[in-house]
Amino acid sequence: MDLLNLKRITDYEWELPKQEDMIVPGMIYGNTKIIDHLKEDVRLGKDWNALKQIANVACMPGIQKCSIALSDVHPGYGFPIGGVGAFDTEEGVITMGGIGFDINCSVTTLKTSLKEEDIRKNAKSLLNSLFKIVPAGLGSTGKVRLNFHQIDEVLTGGAEWAVENGYGEEKDLEFIEENGRVKEADPENVSEKAKQRQFKQIGTLGSGNHYVEVQYVAEIYDQEAAEIYGLKEKDVVVSFHCGSRALGHQIGTDYLKKLAEVTKKYGIKIKDRELVCAPINSEEGQKYFSAVCCGINCAFANHEVLTHLIRKGFKEVFPDGELPKFYSIGHNTCKKEYHKINGKKKLLYVHRKGSTRAFGPGREEIPKKYRKIGQPVLVGGTMGTCSFILCGTEKGMDTTFGSAIHGAGRAMSRKRAKRQYRGDKLLKELENKGIYVRGHSMAGIAEEAPGAYKDIVNVVECMDKSGIAKKVVMLKPIINVKG
C-alpha cells in the first residue's frame, strides 16, 4: 500500500487515494507541516502510524464517503486520534477502535461574570481552592457514594440524574451536547464489574491530560459569533476535561473481548485487531451501542457533579460568582445522526475518536441561543499555551459529518517528554508567565509539557482555513489544576 502518495486537494485538504481493500478514500485536514509529520512516521517504519490507521478504517464494511482525520491527527489504537468514521445502518459496523476506553471524554466550559484582573488578584487562593475540592489523580475517589440501583440511574439519567440529585442546575442541561442524556442507554448491557469499578469514581477528574483550567478571552476573531456566544475580551471562563472514568474503561474492556468473538462469528475482515466490531444491525452491535450510551451518560453525570464542585470552589474565593454553563461537548463517541449522502438525508452511526461534533448553523441539536451561528467547538490546548472556541460550519456538515478537532494532539511520546522536561522547572517557568499550575504528580506535569504537543495555533488554523470549523475566540490560561 502506498501511504506516501497523498493527493493535494487544497493546501488544507489531502486525499489518501482508494487502494487495495479500501472501500472509500481517506481524507486528511491539515497543512504540509501536519502531513509531513504523518509521512515521516511511515518512512521511519514505526510500528504504529496514523496513515495506516486511516487506511485500515477505510476498509471497514459500510463506511460512508471517506475515512477522515482532522488536523490534530496522531497515532491511536484502531482509529487514529482525530479520526472520524460514519457507517451505514444496514451494512455498517460499530467498532471499539473508533470509541476507545475513555467513552465520551468531554470538555465543559463555564462562564463567569469576572474579568482577567479579578482572577489575577486572587489566583493562588483560587488555585488552591479548586485543587482541594476537585478529586483528581490516579486512584482518587469522589464524595458521591452510590449503590447498585443508583448507578443504573446514573447510566440512564446522565446529567439529568445529577441535577435531580442536587448537583448542577436544571438550566445547565440545555447547554450540554444531547442535553446531557442519550436515550438508548440500557444498564443491562453493562457488566457488574463496570458498575463496581465506578462506585466511588463519580465526580472525579482522573489523571494524565485531564484538567480544570481558569482562562480568559485573549483574542476575538469573529465578533458576531462571539456576541452570540456571549463572550467579550478579558472575560473569564472555566474549562475542564474528563470522561466516563472507570465505567467507560470497563465497558471498553468487556466489549473488546466480546467484539473479538463477534468479528469472527460474522467473518468480518479487519486490518488491525483493535478494530474489532459488530454489524450495527446485529443484536451484539446494538448491545455495544447501548453500553456506549451508558458510558456517555456516565460522563455527562460526572461532568455535572464536577460543575457543582467547581462552582463551590469558586464561591469560596468569589462569593457572588455565578458560573452558568457555556457548553459541553464530548469525544470518543458513537452517535446516531442524520447526514446528507448524495443529496439524501440518511441515518448514520458516526464514530469520533479524539474528535468532536461540530454541527453547522441551523441544526436542531444546537441550543437555540447558538443555533444561528453553529455549535460551539471547545478545543483544549496545553497548560502553557492557549485553547480555542470555534463554531461548526456548513462545510463541516458536508465533508466531515459535522466533526472537528478535540485538542492540540500530541507530537511527542510521554516517555520523551519526561526525558526532556522536569515538572518543577516547568511549574516555575509557567508561573513567571502568569500561569499557576498545581498537579498531583510532577512526572505527570512533565508529560503534559506544552512542548510535547503539536502547535495548537497551527492545528486550529487548519480547521479555520479548510472551513471545517471557524475560529471565534482564543482563551489563555491563568490557573490549571492537573489530574
Partner 1 sequence: MEYELLEHEADIGIRGYGNMIEEAFENGAKAMFSIMIDLETVESEKNVEITCEAPDIEALFVEWLNELLTKKDIKEMSFSRFKVKIYKDDIYKLEGTASGEKFDQKKHKAKLEVKGASYSGLKIGKKDEKVFIQCIVDV
Ramachandran angles phi, psi of 456, nearest 5°: -65, -30
The DSSP H or E segment spanning 481 is strand 469-482
Ramachandran angles phi, psi of 201, nearest 5°: -105, 0
Give the three cell numbers for residue 367: 441550543
Q: Which of 410, 470, 471, 476 is in the footprint of partner 1 by CB under 8 A? A: 410
78 binds partner 1 (CB under 8 A): yes
Least distance to partner 1, CB of residue 93, Å? 16
Q: Is 478 helix (H, G, I), strand (E, B) or coil?
A: strand
- Name 431's Cβ contacts closer than 8 Å, sequence gap at least 6: 437
Question: Per CB under 8 A, which region of 150-158, 247-255, 288-296, 298-306 contacts partner 1?
Answer: 247-255
Q: Which of 344, 345, 368, 415 is in the footprint of partner 1 by CB under 8 A? A: 415
Asked about 406 being catalytic, the answer comes back as: yes
Chain positions 208 to 237 lying near partner 1, rule: CB under 8 A, are: 208
197 binds partner 1 (CB under 8 A): yes
Contact 291, 152 (CB under 8 A): no
42 binds partner 1 (CB under 8 A): no
Our measurement of the distance from residue 159's CA atom to the centroid of its chain's CA atoms, rounded to an integer in Å, reads 17
246 binds partner 1 (CB under 8 A): yes
Q: Which of 19, 122, 196, 281 is in the footprint of partner 1 by CB under 8 A? A: 196
Rounded CA-CA distance 423/259 in Å is: 40
Contact 270, 61 (CB under 8 A): no
100 binds partner 1 (CB under 8 A): yes
* 376: nearest Cα among 90, 110, 142, 115: 110
62 binds partner 1 (CB under 8 A): no
Question: Per CB under 8 A, which region of 159-167, 271-279, 286-294, 366-374 contacts partner 1?
Answer: 271-279
Residue type at 239? S
Residue type at 160? E
Q: Which of 29, 87, 101, 314 is in the footprint of partner 1 by CB under 8 A? A: 101
Number of residues that bind partner 1 (CB under 8 A): 51
Rounded CA-CA distance 455/408 in Å is: 7
102 binds partner 1 (CB under 8 A): yes
Least distance to partner 1, CB of residue 53, Å? 9
Contact 421, 373 (CB under 8 A): no
252 binds partner 1 (CB under 8 A): yes
CB atoms within 10 A of CB 132: 12
Q: Which of 52, 111, 181, 249 is in the footprint of partner 1 by CB under 8 A? A: 249
**To 5 degrees, how large is the angle CA 132–CA 440–CA 127?**
40
DSSP 67-118: EEEEEEEE--SSSPEEEEEEEETTT-EEEGGGT-SSTTEEEEEEEEEEEHHH
137 binds partner 1 (CB under 8 A): yes
The smaller minimum CB distance to partner 1, of residues 157 and 444, is found at 444
Least distance to partner 1, CB of residue 419, Å? 10
Mode of pairing for the β-strands spanning 26-29 and 105-115:
unpaired
Least distance to partner 1, CB of residue 107, Å? 17
**To 5 degrees, how large is the angle CA 335–CA 50–CA 379?**
55
The DSSP H or E segment spanning 355 is strand 344-357
Q: Which of 98, 168, 187, 206 is in the footprint of partner 1 by CB under 8 A? A: 206
Q: Which of 111, 406, 440, 471 is in the footprint of partner 1 by CB under 8 A? A: 440
458 binds partner 1 (CB under 8 A): no
The smaller minimum CB distance to partner 1, of residues 142 and 374, is found at 142
Least distance to partner 1, CB of residue 246, Å? 5
272 binds partner 1 (CB under 8 A): yes
Question: Per CB under 8 A, which region of 71-79, 172-180, 281-289, 295-303 contacts partner 1?
Answer: 71-79
> Which of 210, 303, 351, 406 does the annotation list as catalytic?
406
The footprint of partner 1 (CB under 8 A) covers: 47-48, 74-78, 81, 97, 100-102, 137-141, 193, 196-197, 200-201, 206-208, 246, 248-250, 252-253, 256-257, 260, 272-274, 276, 354, 410-416, 440-441, 443-444, 447
Residues taking part in catalysis = 406
